Amino acid sequence: MLRIAVDRCGDAVTSLIGVCTTRAGQTSTYWAASIAWTLAQTRTVLLVDCDMEGGTIADLLYLRLDDRGLANLFGERAATVQQVEAQTVPVPDIATLTVVPGLRHTYGFEISDCLRQIRDALRNHPADAVVVDLGHPLAHPGLRSPRAAGDAVASCFQRLFVVIRDEPSLLARSIDVLRSAHLAHGEVIVCQQRSRAHLQVVQEVFNRELPELALRTCWSWDERKAARMGETGRPMLVAAAVQELSL
């Protein structure tokens, strides 16, 4: 069951799920799209592409943009729910899922600036869940402060998933990024591509180096399913992961 949080005033707020990674190419966009697609089988879901390096969700889902997108929400004042709704694009074949496409011709915003602009609108959005693909906001060229970026994403989202591949060459880098960000809370989703023995090593390393972050092993990479997603624009169903994570 999706848990709806309650703010300090006692009002119900939309469940906010953030997805990020420590560097590009670690399947976080596939994870965000698949989580949103799976939740949308039974609930209304808004999927927002907040990758500040340029979004790819619209391309992945073969969406027609009609000049809609995240960039239209940046202005002198914070965006409203109505303004967010005006930038949504429907997803073919599933009426319960809509998408705010990501940046296409503008790049380089700090994630804290982006979230400050849209956070309240997302919290008050009428969808049952809002899933936000953040890209790799904790480590990119020009980032002023990993700690500030970590504070921004942790304070915005009730559930924050950090997706990493079980690639040995990436492991130390991912740990360094997460240590610098000092996330107040978060769950590391391991994209499994190697043996169970290797996964056990990854678990041991993370439990030793970053014991404050929960490690989840519910994301097994399937090349055929990933290829099918790329060919059809239909994300993977990850019902078992949704159940395991109590989403």
- pLDDT tens-place string over residues 66-124: 899 999 999 999 999 999 999 999 999 899 999 999 998 777 678 999 999 999 999 99
Residue 184: pLDDT over 50: yes
pLDDT of the residue at 102: 94
106: left (phi over 0), alpha (psi -120 to 50) or beta: beta
Is pTM beyond 0.75? Reply is yes
pLDDT at 1: 34
Say what the pLDDT of residue 108 is.
65
CATH architecture label of 15-244 = 3-Layer(aba) Sandwich (3.40)
Query: Residue 12 — pLDDT band, cuts 50, 70, 90?
Result: very low
Q: Of 53 and 82, which is predicted with more confidence?
A: 82
Q: Is residue 163 within 8 Å of residue 219, measured between CB atoms?
A: yes
For the chain, domain boundaries: 15-244
List the structure tokens of 116: 């400050």
- Check whether 10 has a pLDDT greater than 80: no
Q: Quick one: pLDDT band at residue 137, thresholds 50, 70, 90?
A: very high
SS3 73: helix
Q: Which of 193, 147, 149 is nearest to 171 (CA)?
A: 193
Please tell me the predicted confidence (pLDDT) of residue 14. Answer: 57
Across 199-219, average pLDDT: 92
Number of other CB atoms surrounding residue 8 within 10 Å: 5
- 160-175 pLDDT per residue, tens: 999 999 888 888 999 9
Long-range contacts of 238-246, Cβ-Cβ distance < 8 Å, separation of 24 or more = 238/31, 238/34, 238/35, 238/38, 239/38, 239/41, 241/35, 241/38, 242/35, 242/38, 242/39, 244/216, 244/218, 245/159, 245/187, 245/216, 245/218, 246/1, 246/3
Question: How many whole angstroms separate alpha carbon 143 and alpha carbon 197?
Answer: 35
Mean pLDDT of 133-142: 88
Dmax over CA atoms of the chain, in Å, equals: 52
Report, as an integer, the average pLDDT of 212-240.
91
Strands, sheet with 45-49, edge to edge from the N-terminal-most edge strand: 89-90, 97-100, 45-49, 129-133, 15-21, 159-165, 187-192, 214-220
First-residue to last-residue Cα distance in the chain: 6
